[in-house]
Amino acid sequence: MTFAFRLLGSVSLLLHLSFLGSRAIVQQTELDPDTLSLISFKDSLENPQLLTSWTLATSHCRWQGVYCQNGRVISLVLPGCSLRGPLSLSIFNLTSLIRLKVLDFGGNLLFGELPSQLGELTRLEVLTLGPNLFTGVIPPELGNLAKLRSLDLSGNALTGNVPTQIANLSRLQVLAIGNNLLSGSLSPTLFSNLQSLTSLDVSNNSLSGHIPPEIGRLTNLTDLYLGINHFSGELPPEIGELSNLQIFLSPSCSFSGPLPETFSKLRSLSKLDLSYNPLKSSIPKSIGKLLNLSIINLVYTELNGSIPPELGNCRNLKTLMLSFNSLSGPLPEELAELSMVSFAAEKNQLSGPLPSWLGRWTQIDALLLSNNHFSGKIPAEIGNCTMLTHISLSNNLLTGRIPGELCNAVALLDIDLDSNFLTGTIEDAFVKCTNLTQLILVDNQIVGSIPDYLSRLPLMVLELDSNNLTGPIPVSLWNSMNLMEFSAANNFLEGTLPGEIGNAISLQRLVLANNQLKGFIPREIGNLTALSVLNLNSNLLDGRIPSEIGNCTALTTLDLGRNRINGSIPEDLADLPQLQCLVLSYNDLSGIIPMKKSKYFHHVSIPDSSFVQHHGVYDLSNNMLSGSIPAELGNCVVLVDLLLSNNILSGEIPRSLAGLTNLTTLDLSGNLLTGGIPEEFGESLKLQGFYLGNNQLTGEIPESLGQLSGLVKLNLTGNKLSGSVPSSFGNLNGLTHLDLSSNELNGELPSSISEMVDLVGLYAQKNSLTGHLDSLLSNSMQWRIEILNLSDNHLDGLLPRSIGSMSYLTSLDLHRNDFTGEIPSELGNLLQLEDLDLSSNKLSGQIPERICGLGNLISSNFTDNRLVGPVPENGICQNRSKLLLDGNKDLCGGTASLECHIKRFGRRWPLLNIWGLVTVIVIAMLIGLSVAVVRQAWINRSTRKNDPEYAEDSKLNSSTDQHLCFLSSSRSKEPLSINIAMFEQPLLKLTIVDILEATNNFCKTNIIGDGGFGTVYKATLPCGKIVAVKKLNENKTQGQREFLAEMETLGKVKHRNLVPLLGYCSYGEEKVLVYEYMSNGSLDLWLRNRSGTLELLDWKKRYKIAVGAARGIAFLHHGFTPHIIHRDIKASNILLNEDFEPKVADFGLARLISAYESHVSTDVAGTFGYIPPEYGQSWKSTTRGDVYSFGVILLELVTGKEPTGPDFKDIEGGNLVGWVFMKIRSGQAAEVLDPVALDADSKQMMLQTLQIAASCLSDNPTKRPTMLHVVKFLKGIKEE
């Protein structure tokens, strides 16, 4: 009992003490508003557990990041703590944190809008809220913080203008609002009142307008960051008043030159970056007065002129970056006295010999002079640059031997000398480069053998392609433990591949194609488990394929084509899990195709470090393989091109092949295949090339093939196919070649074939086709067909006159049919016709004289018909060797060597005499009438020619004047022998007055674009149609005749992925084009989206844009004659309609290139970031240059980044291309993908698109795919 009482007393005492403690805590809390505010802030966070020290057990003054004075909070500093949540209003409680002087929440994950209550913390001296995830506008109330010395809101997503109230912060020394989404211009009051500023950062926003001259009042400013905005105009002269300015970084704006003369007054300036601005001027000589300069970056500023010698006065200059400009002339010797660390002048037009004084730059680390016009020898004095690690002299005009003294620079890591004219051997050139990791000598004229000492260097990359190297590959090279890439293709290397090749265990890429290597492929190659690419194509290798290659499990590409390899294909190849390109064509392989369950061509993903270029290629063509085609191939889902032609394969075509959803090309021609064509192929919707010719296939052609809307070529020649041609073929809108020849087809050709408007070649000879041609040629005016061969059939009836509308026709073969009637004189309209064969028919009448006058006609065959009358004596009909007439017994004269006797036509002469007399009388009357009309017109003109009103009316209204606007195009007289334009609508004529009214006198408010060729206005025509009107710059236009000819040609360029040219207008010196209006603007607008007002472009839309744009460019290159080189492909020239269907703009405004000429334009156009590397040397535009530019577009779609920008200033090349390739080489390809478009479904497609882009961006133009291949590759991508 006593114990119980004691226990009860103890409990009571504890409860009492607990109550007192709680009361004390409550009383303390009530007396401590700072604690309440801080706890409230903590509780508002999504991850409050990160603030572990913030507990009531300790005083708030001892909490992490909290600093007190006399028990009250004066500083709250929590940077980089990963705090997530909104900025709690509790912090702004005036009764608590009113004494706060420092508030630093930078480097967290705080979100929401910035509270206007921030303006109530009037004692704040430092406010740091960046970087975080804040949105909304900058509160104007911040202008109330009169004591503020530092304001940092950078690295958020703030929008709107910079509030003018900020100008009230007269004590402000640091203003950092960069890396946001701010817009509008900078108010002059900001610069007028903030005279205490030492650092101003507004970079990486969407600010625009000019820099106000009031900036000159910021005389205390030391750091100025304006870059990555839309600022424009020239820098104001007042900027020269910033005498304390040390750092001026303003890249990627739209500042124009020249730099003001007062720039030379910035005597404290140390770092200057104006890269990626269209300065379009020369480097001012006065820059030599800036003696403290240590870094100058003027990359991509469109500089011209020469490098001023006065730069040599800047004795502190360490880094000079002048790449990607148009600088010319030699390197000035005055630069020799500088202590240069990095010098880059790539892709300019610098010329002259490389100066020997470069050897005085003993501190230089990187010397980058590629893509210029330097000539002469490489100076040996460069070897004196003992700190040099990187040297790039590629794509110049250098000659002579590579000096051995170069390697006196023992620190050298990378040497790039490709694409020059270097000669001699490399016998001892690099023997002293003991630190060399990369040596690139591609595309020179180096002779001799590959020296043995290279194996003793720590080389990781060795590229010797396209030289004149001979002899064997040194065996010691294979003992290198560092070598990862070795390529020596396109040389004259001999000898064998030794077993020691298995020692190069680090090797990832081995390319020795197009040499003279002999012997077997050694089994030891199976030791190279890291090998990704093995290319031995076009050598003299024989023997069998070693089964040990199956151990090379990292292989993505295996190319052994064009050798003398025999034996069977090892089944082990089917176990290579990464293999996505297999080329064994043009060998002597026999046996069967591996039948086992396979692992190759199964993985859709491409390894980040892979070098695979021909994704999905399975090429066993031109061997002696037998047996059946394995049904297992239908499981190889990666297959894009399946090429098994010209073997001895038999059996039926496996239906499983139709399930290959990525299949683009299927070539099974030249085998012994039997059975029918599986109708399941109608579901292979990505199929573009379908080749089954020269087999023993039977049955009818499946109607389902008409579903292959992407099909480009269909070849079924040389089989035993029967039945009629499917009418569904009319749905094959993209088909260019259709070959049904040498089969047993019957019935009429369906009229639906006339809907195949892209058809170039139609071959249906040697069948049993019947019927007339009228319905087939009903759409002949829209046909672009060049070759039509319907010979050896049973066609009959008259030859339609509509044949004469097939203006692209070069070959017409209708021999051995049953055609009757006369030869239509309209055949004389076929100006491109080269070969004509109408022999062995039942044609009658005379040979039309117009046919003989065709200037391109090479041969014509009219034998075995019923032709009569005299043979024309003009054109080809005068040449007996080119005109065949035998078997027409009633022909006479000309090459028939038969005199046309009058008696033969005697019965007709009386009638002919009468009509001849009438004809002479009528002609005489017409001539007299014409003379009278002309005389009266001359009199009228003479009486009115001085009347100004008449002169003006004649300019604007004359129906025959050239100063007219033509909309939709015309059927008018063709200029300069351009083919007659085929327009979609009747000709609509507009005067220049109509154009002026439609654009409101070319009002600036109607401007929707401004490019290199002119300004684009949104316009509403009198009929209400909205169009885009491009007013060409006067200095960009041609003469009147040339302009009209070019426009008539462009009017015929019709493709769903090209912006249609609706019309054009020429008035005096003014040239105006009328285009279809694109409501969604340009791709550039959507990718940049700096205002944040547009929806985000997901990958589905981006992929659609990539494929469509590729189709449009491919049509320009391959689908139209004359072929068109765009020369300025960029994101702003890809427009989007309301459905985001892309349409390529500005095509044809550069010079047109005839398909019969060189396909090269010598007037180089282009936009920085998209210009291919070879343009800097050859200055010639080619279709391959367009491919490069499109590769940049693909990178923009995949990465979401602009082609140029400050993010890449430390990257080789200084652009997006260089950055992406750096990531790919380091195995980090996935890191370049745009997170905005990236998700689990899109990742693989984006990586595959990246691979396609990489192939387009090859420095060697010949290695780039054509745009037809690009379309095929893009369409072959499979979305998982």
Q: What is the pLDDT of residues 105-130, one digit of tens each?
A: 999 999 999 999 889 889 999 999 98
* Res. 203 pLDDT band, cuts 50 70 90: very high
Q: What is the DSSP string of 1081-1123?
A: -BHHHHHH-TTS-SPP--HHHHHHHHHHHHHHHHIIIIISSS-
State how far the alpha carbon of 848 is from the alpha carbons of 774, 786, 1214, in Å: 20, 22, 65
CA 391 – CA 1273 distance, rounded (Å): 35
CA 450 – CA 1099 distance, rounded (Å): 47
CA 712 – CA 687 distance, rounded (Å): 8
Query: ∠ at Cα 1103 (1102, 1105), nearest 5°?
Result: 65
pTM, to two decimals? 0.67
Residue 563's closest CA among 517, 496, 617, 628? 517
pLDDT score recorded for residue 79 = 92
pLDDT score recorded for residue 989 = 47
* Res. 942 pLDDT band, cuts 50 70 90: very low
Q: Which of 39-48, 256-265, 646-655, 933-942 has the lowest mean pLDDT?
A: 933-942
Long-range pairs for 979-982: beta carbons < 8 A, 24 or more residues apart: 979/807, 979/808, 979/831, 979/1052, 980/807, 981/1048, 981/1049, 981/1051, 981/1052, 982/781, 982/782, 982/1052
Architecture of domain 1081-1280: Orthogonal Bundle (1.10)
Q: What is the pLDDT of residues 324-341, one digit of tens each?
A: 999 999 999 999 999 999
pLDDT at 68 > cutoff 60: yes
- Token pair belonging to 1148: 């044809």
Say if CB 343 and CB 392 are below 8 A apart: no
CA 1008 – CA 806 distance, rounded (Å): 39
Q: Could you give the dihedral angle defined by the CA atoms of residues 977, 1060, 761 and 716, in that order, rounded to the nearest 10 degrees?
A: 180
What residue spans of 31-143 are helical by DSSP H? 33-44
- Token pair belonging to 1183: 């279709």
Q: Which of these is catalytic: 32, 1128, 1146, 1259?
A: 1128
The highest-level CATH class for domain 957-1077 is: alpha beta
Q: Give the CA count within 13 Å in the CB-facing half-sphere of 1026.
A: 6
Q: 48-81: string of b/e by CB count within 10 Å (b at 16+)?
A: bebbeebeeeeebbebebbebeeebbbbbbbeeb
- Token pair belonging to 794: 């049973």
pLDDT score recorded for residue 943 = 35
For residue 1031, say whether it is annotated as part of any ligand binding site. yes
Quick one: average pLDDT of 663-686?
A: 94
CA 899 – CA 604 distance, rounded (Å): 75
**Residues spanned by CATH 3.80.10.10 within the chain?**
24-181
Say if CB 656 and CB 679 are below 8 A apart: no
Say if CB 297 and CB 274 are below 8 A apart: yes
pLDDT at 993 > cutoff 90: no
Q: Report the mean per-residue pLDDT for the chain.
A: 84
Helix (H, G, I), strand (E, B) or coil at 365: coil
Q: How many residues does the chain have?
A: 1280
pLDDT score recorded for residue 944 = 37
pLDDT score recorded for residue 1273 = 86
pLDDT score recorded for residue 899 = 58
416 among known catalytic residues: no
Quick one: average pLDDT of 1063-1080?
A: 78
Q: What is the DSSP string of 1194-1247?
A: HHHHHH---SS-GGGTTSTTSSHHHHHHHHHHTT-GGGGS-TTT--TTTHHHHH
In three state form, how does the secondary structure of 842-890 look?
A: EEEECCCHHHHCCCCCCEEECCCCEEEEECCCCHHHHCHHHEECCCCCE
Residue with tokens 């006198």: 1001
Helix (H, G, I), strand (E, B) or coil at 339: coil
Q: What is the pLDDT of residues 1141-1164, one digit of tens each?
A: 999 888 766 543 332 233 333 333
Quick one: average pLDDT of 1041-1067?
A: 74
CA 620 – CA 615 distance, rounded (Å): 15
- Residue 823 DSSP class: P
CA 1022 – CA 1031 distance, rounded (Å): 18
Say if CB 1142 and CB 1110 are below 8 A apart: no
**Residues spanned by CATH 1.10.510.10 within the chain?**
1081-1280
CA 645 – CA 1065 distance, rounded (Å): 53
* Res. 600 pLDDT band, cuts 50 70 90: confident
Residue 1002's closest CA among 1028, 1037, 976? 1028
> Tell me, which fold does domain 24-181 have in CATH?
3.80.10
- Token pair belonging to 370: 């590629």
pLDDT score recorded for residue 614 = 66
Helix (H, G, I), strand (E, B) or coil at 147: coil
Residue 845 burial (CB count, 10 A): 15
40 vs 348, higher pLDDT: 348
Cα 1086 off chain centre by: 17
CA 447 – CA 469 distance, rounded (Å): 5
Q: Give the CA count within 13 Å in the CB-facing half-sphere of 1037.
A: 22
pLDDT score recorded for residue 1235 = 85
Residue 1172's closest CA among 1232, 1084, 1260, 1111? 1260
pLDDT at 397 > cutoff 50: yes
What residue spans of 194-350 are helical by DSSP H? none
- Token pair belonging to 41: 């802030």
Q: What is the pLDDT of residues 434-465, one digit of tens each?
A: 999 999 999 999 999 999 999 999 999 999 99
The residues that bridge with 111 in the sheet, in sequence order, are 86, 133
pLDDT score recorded for residue 406 = 96
* Res. 967 pLDDT band, cuts 50 70 90: very low
Q: What is the pLDDT of residues 464-502, one digit of tens each?
A: 999 999 999 999 999 998 999 999 999 999 999 999 999
Q: What is the pLDDT of residues 241-260, one digit of tens each?
A: 999 999 999 999 999 999 99
pLDDT score recorded for residue 22 = 38
Residue with tokens 């010196």: 1069
CA 146 – CA 166 distance, rounded (Å): 10
Quick one: average pLDDT of 992-1010?
A: 76
| Residues in CB range of 245: below 8 A, 6 or more apart | 221, 222, 223, 224, 266, 268, 269
* Res. 19 pLDDT band, cuts 50 70 90: very low
